[in-house]
Amino acid sequence: NAGVTQTPKFRVLKTGQSMTLLCAQDMNHEYMYWYRQDPGMGLRLIHYSVGEGTTAKGEVPDGYNVSRLKKQNFLLGLESAAPSQTSVYFCASSLWSGEQYFGPGTRLTVT
């Protein structure tokens, strides 16, 4: 099993551009999450999903949108990127509660 994978691994955007980050898991997990990691701030939850077709806001949802059309995929969209969105983005999944399995991360730079 590949576990949790993320695409792309690195990306550089100009301010105002849009992009979509793809997260895929092959563990048949119900719950999926998107976090951002910034120095000195730990991991902050952006959006999460408790099942196919559901999404909910986390701690820092502004400027991001998500979709979970298929159980195994969770997409994170930036409609108009800003320098403040420069960060490392991690996707994670869990069966229901308990241990979250993280992807390898996407390093995004917005200039």
Partner 1 sequence: GENVEQHPSTLSVQEGDSAVIKCTYSDSASNYFPWYKQELGKRPQLIIDIRSNVGEKKDQRIAVTLNKTAKHFSLHITETQPEDSAVYFCAASLNDYKLSFGAGTTVTVRA
Site string for partner 1, 3-32 (x = CB under 8 A): ----------------------------x-
State which amino acid sits at residue 100: Q
- Site residue total, partner 1 (CB under 8 A): 22
Which of 39, 31, 32, 89 shows the shortest CA–CA distance to 60?
89
- Asked if residues 90 and 67 have their Cβ atoms less than 8 Å apart, the reply is no
Would you tell me how many other CB atoms lie within 10 Å of the CB of residue 23?
Answer: 25
Is position 105 an interface residue for partner 1 (rule: CB under 8 A)? yes
Among the candidate windows 7-15, 20-28, 34-42, 68-76, which touches partner 1 by CB under 8 A?
34-42
Write down the least CB distance from residue 14 to partner 1, Å: 26
Rounded to the nearest 10°, the torsion over CA 5, 8, 10, 14 is -140
- Asked if residues 53 and 71 have their Cβ atoms less than 8 Å apart, the reply is no
Is position 59 an interface residue for partner 1 (rule: CB under 8 A)? yes
Which of 12, 7, 8 shows the shortest CA–CA distance to 85?
12
Of 71-90, binders to partner 1 (CB under 8 A) are 90
Is position 40 an interface residue for partner 1 (rule: CB under 8 A)? yes
Is position 43 an interface residue for partner 1 (rule: CB under 8 A)? yes
Binding site residues, partner 1, CB under 8 A = 31, 40-45, 48, 50, 58-59, 90, 94, 96-100, 102-105
